[in-house]
Structures are given as structure tokens and as C-alpha cells.
Amino acid sequence: MSGVREPAAQEQRSKTFYLETFGCQMNVHDSEKVVGTLVQQGYRQVETVEQADLILYNTCSIRDKAEQKVFHRLADYKKLQSQGKKFGVLGCVAQQEGEKIFERAPHVSLVCGSASYRNLPQMLVQLENASGPAERAIPRAAGEVAALRDDAFVEKASDSGLRTRDLIRITGLDDRQTDKCFETEFTARTNPHRGYITIIEGCDKFCAYCIVPFTRGKERSRTSDSVLLEARQMGDLGYTEIQLLGQNVNSYKDPAGKRSFAELLAAVGEVPGIRRVRFTTSHPRDFGRDIVDAIDAVPSLCDHVHLPVQSGSTRLLDAMQRLYTREQYLERIGWIKSAKRGIAITTDVIVGFPGETESEFEQTLTLLEQVGYDGVFSFKYSPRPNTPAVTLDDAIPDQEKAYRLEVLMAKQRELQIIRNKRYLGMILEVMIEGRNEARQQWIGRTSQNKTLNFLASPQAKLEPGSYVSVLVTGSFPNSLVGECCISEQMELSVHPSSMIAP
């Protein structure tokens, strides 16, 4: 759970680590669990690479650009290896590149994919035993490090330009077929009000463009009892918002067979103290009407569904192996729109998938209009190693991909301007996330997952994590502005996810 970081005890710890995270919310939450595990193993987290004994990167390989970032970081800090610092690469790039990382960056000692995080404590012990500073000063006899081969692959490197006796190789790469999730009671959550819970790991869908099934392993769910236990513990600790996570969160299958995804969602929404529940990402094929029914029935389930479409063309969806047609996708949108509450809808789109014609791209633009999304995350198709799409020969030139991306973003911006105007004059409840002193504004988030910046009287006792009602007075493409109109004490009777016309 949280509360792992106890400052006084932490200060006394001599082993230090620095962790930088790239990528999605799953990675952010994995890092919270990795931090908890390290603290539990006697490490202290520090803010800079210079202060750290162990430098870790939790990486993302969803697109080529994300992947390159970690190699730039490793190159930037390579010289620190001479000070005895150790480097580890975790996450998707670790799993994808595996031992090739040792060749490209010989100063790396640990390479571990997310499916092996359960084994981190043993790997850390091996890292420490194999490479303490004293040991570094004394040349080791051949075979000493190799004796540590039991659970991890440890060997000496050659041809690296560095003294081979200083090189340690520890890997956690062989667990992609595991049925186990990375469950730990030592999660170092950074936000005291809102927290993630991963309910399902991995992915079995194998979309033609996507590297995730190769890096995160097969789909596996936690039991709903274990998820609910964690949710209740979070409620007891004062968290008010929970976000359920999974690459395809709604493909969730309770191994104990007790609850469907919609039932689990409803049960988390009824946990005492929890005022908001979000879930991401939903796969359209597994999106059932029962999810909308749950949102209608349980007030704490937020008014927001993220439902990635990727393309508006059925032919392209088929080529992408997305397992649904445009019409089936729109049917699900129809269910969401028929809910009693106004549910905000967001999506992901890929432009320039191999073979995407202009008219197929046009179909994506018409879909944006037809659905009326509240937000779109759009990406240029990025060829990924080992995926089926990488072998397709009708690639779209990068310039054309960039052009389509620009057109799509401009279109969506126009639509969002119109969409956000519909909130004008409404009172929305926000959770306060922070304050922008320069603008004298509080920063809030609505149930619909919109940023709502607002003014409040200096007398109002506001603080991050509290909930207030805000009258929307202005709108922009990506945010709303307003004025705090009801204090938290006064608005307790207001429905947590309400949108009230004044």
C-alpha cells in the first residue's frame, strides 16, 4: 500500500536509487510498485541521477520515439559508471531489446521486463552481491559472478571497452507466459488522493501494429477480491479516487469467476470513502452495455469512457486486426450516449497505417464528427519490431503521415471548441489538483476528465484533494474556466458526478 516513504527512516538508508518513468499510466503505476519494492529492500529514493547509487529507467516502446529516449538517457549518464553507479532498464524496451541492451549500453547491469517485476527483490540482492563497491576494487577470480546464476542470468561481458570484471548482467525476461500479476502491498503512491489499481496485465489481442503483447506478456487478471481489498485499503487511507488500469481493462476476467468487469466496477464504486472511479483503457470488442448500466447505477463511476477506435474505416480496422467494424464501434458509442448521464467520450487514433488511402483517412474524420469526441489522442503510425504490420510494404511516407495528423488534430480542435461550449453555465463538481499562482487560479478535474481552472475567494479553504462545485464561465478547446460557487461543506448533498444547470 502507500505510506512506504517514511522520511526519517528513509534518510538513514545508505543505498539510493533514482527512477525515471516513460510512457503510459500502466508504467507510472508499475513504477509506484517498483519504488515500493525498492524502499522495502532498504533503498532510499533520490531526486537526481547524481545522488543515486542505482539509476533505473522504466521504459516505453509503443512508438520508436519513446524507445529512443532511454538510449539517449543512458548515453548522457554513461560517464557516471566510473563512480560506481549502476544502471537498470525496466519495462517495455527492456523486454523488447533484452540482452541487446548490454551490447548497446555496456554500463547497464539490470534488464527486466514488466512480467518479471515480481522477482525484483531477488534481482536486487543479486545486483548488490555481485557488485558491491569493495568488490569492484578487488579483481574477482573468473567464475565468482557466474556462481550467481541461480534465478537470473549473470555473466561477464566482453568487447565493451570497459573492464569486463566490472560488468554484471542480471535479466528478468522470461516471464511473459506467467499467469501471475505483479501484486504487492508495498506500493509507493505519489498522490495521496487519487490512486491506480492494475486489475489486468498483458494483452492477447495482437493488433497488427502493436508491440504490447510482445513486451507485457499474456493477458492475466487479478481476482476481484484482491482488487476490492486494495480498494478498501485505499478508502481507509483517505484516497477518494481510484483508477482501474489495464491495457484492455474491460477484458478483465476474474480468475475466481465471482464478478464480471462491470460488477467489479460497481463494487469498487461502492467502497466507503471512494467518490470517483475511472477505468482505462477499454477495448471496443469487449465493451458491453452492462458497463454503461453500471455507470448509470453507481454515482461514483465517472462520466467518462476512453474507447480507442484507431480508424474510421472498416477495411483498415480489419487490416489492423482490431476485431470490430466501424458499425460495431458506433453501436457501442450509441449505448454510451443513451446513458442517463452525459458521458464524455475520448479515443485514440492512428494515422498513416500501411495502405491507408485518402478516402479511408476521410472516414476517420467523419467518424470524429459522428461521435463528437471530447478528446482524441492521435499518433502517426510507427513501425514496431516483430509486429505483423512491419512487413507490409505499402508504407505511407512520413510527410503524408504528418500531414494527416495535422488535419486530424485541426478538425478535432474545432469539434472540441463546440463540445466544450455545452458546459457553459453548468455547475460541475471538481476534485482540486493544484493551484496556478501566476493566474491566481485553482486547477480542478471534472468527472468528465476535463481540466476546469477556477477562481475562488481567498477566504475559501481550498486544498488539493478536496471537492468543490464550480460554475463554468468560459471554455477553450482543451479546458474550461469557472468560479467556485459552493464550498465543499455546503455541497455534500450534491451528486458526485452531477452536472447541474444553475
Give the footprint of ligand SAM on residues 345-364 (CB under 6 A).
348, 350
Nearest to ligand SF4 of 207, 333 (CB atom): 207
Q: State the binding string over 280-299 for ligand SAM (x if CB under 6 A, else -).
A: -x-x----------------
* Spatial distance between the Cα atoms of 305 and 333, rounded to a whole number of angstroms: 10
Q: Write the DSSP assignment of 165-210 as a string of letters.
A: GG---EEE---TT-------S----S-SSEEEEE-EES-----TT-
* Grid coordinates of 373: 469526441
Give the footprint of ligand SAM on residues 137-196 (CB under 6 A).
none
Q: How many residues are given for the chain?
A: 502
Does residue 220 touch ligand SF4 according to CB under 6 A?
no
Q: Write the DSSP assignment of 60-110 as a string of letters.
A: --SSHHHHHHHHHHHHHTGGGGGGT-EEEEEEHHHHHHTTHHHHH-TTEEE
Contacting residue, 130, 212, 405, 484, with ligand SF4 by CB under 6 A: 212
Minimum separation from the CB atom of position 122 to ligand SAM (A) = 28
Nearest to ligand SF4 of 205, 253 (CB atom): 205
Minimum separation from the CB atom of position 475 to ligand SAM (A) = 26
Minimum separation from the CB atom of position 250 to ligand SF4 (A) = 11
Q: At which residue does the C-alpha cell 533484452 appear?
A: 98
* Spatial distance between the Cα atoms of 337 and 331, rounded to a whole number of angstroms: 10
* Grid coordinates of 19: 527512477
Task: State how beta strands 241-245 and 194-198 pair.
Answer: parallel
Residue closest to 58 by CA, chosen among 234, 153, 182? 182
Does residue 214 touch ligand SAM according to CB under 6 A?
no
Minimum separation from the CB atom of position 22 to ligand SAM (A) = 12
Does residue 212 touch ligand SAM according to CB under 6 A?
yes
* Spatial distance between the Cα atoms of 142 and 132, rounded to a whole number of angstroms: 17
Minimum separation from the CB atom of position 435 to ligand SAM (A) = 31
The interface region with ligand SF4, picked from 36-44, 205-213, 263-271, 448-456 by CB under 6 A, is 205-213
Residue closest to 246 by CA, chosen among 376, 114, 371? 114
User: Long-range contacts made by residues 386-391, C-beta under 8 angstroms, separation at least 24?
Assistant: 386/96, 386/211, 386/214, 387/208, 387/209, 387/210, 387/211, 387/214, 388/206, 388/208, 388/321, 389/208, 389/209, 389/319, 389/320, 389/353, 389/354
Residue 280 contact among ligand SAM, ligand SF4, none, beta carbon within 5 to 8 Å by kind:
none
Does residue 207 touch ligand SF4 according to CB under 6 A?
yes
Does residue 419 touch ligand SAM according to CB under 6 A?
no
Minimum separation from the CB atom of position 377 to ligand SF4 (A) = 12
Nearest to ligand SAM of 45, 387 (CB atom): 387
Count of other CB atoms within 10 angstroms of residue 185: 12
Helix (H, G, I), strand (E, B) or coil at 433: strand
Residue 213 contact among ligand SF4, ligand SAM, none, beta carbon within 5 to 8 Å by kind:
ligand SF4
Residue 348 contact among ligand SAM, ligand SF4, none, beta carbon within 5 to 8 Å by kind:
ligand SAM
Does residue 24 touch ligand SAM according to CB under 6 A?
yes
Q: Where are the strands (E) in 369-462, listed by range?
A: 375-380, 427-436, 441-446, 451-455
Does residue 206 touch ligand SF4 according to CB under 6 A?
yes
Backbone angles phi, psi at 277, to 5 degrees: -130, 130
Does residue 200 touch ligand SAM according to CB under 6 A?
no
Minimum separation from the CB atom of position 394 to ligand SF4 (A) = 20
Q: Report the interface residues with ligand SAM, using CB under 6 A.
A: 24, 62-63, 209-210, 212, 247-248, 281, 283, 308, 310, 348, 350, 379, 381-382, 384
Q: Which residues bind ligand SF4 (CB under 6 A)?
A: 203, 205-207, 210, 212-213, 247-248, 283
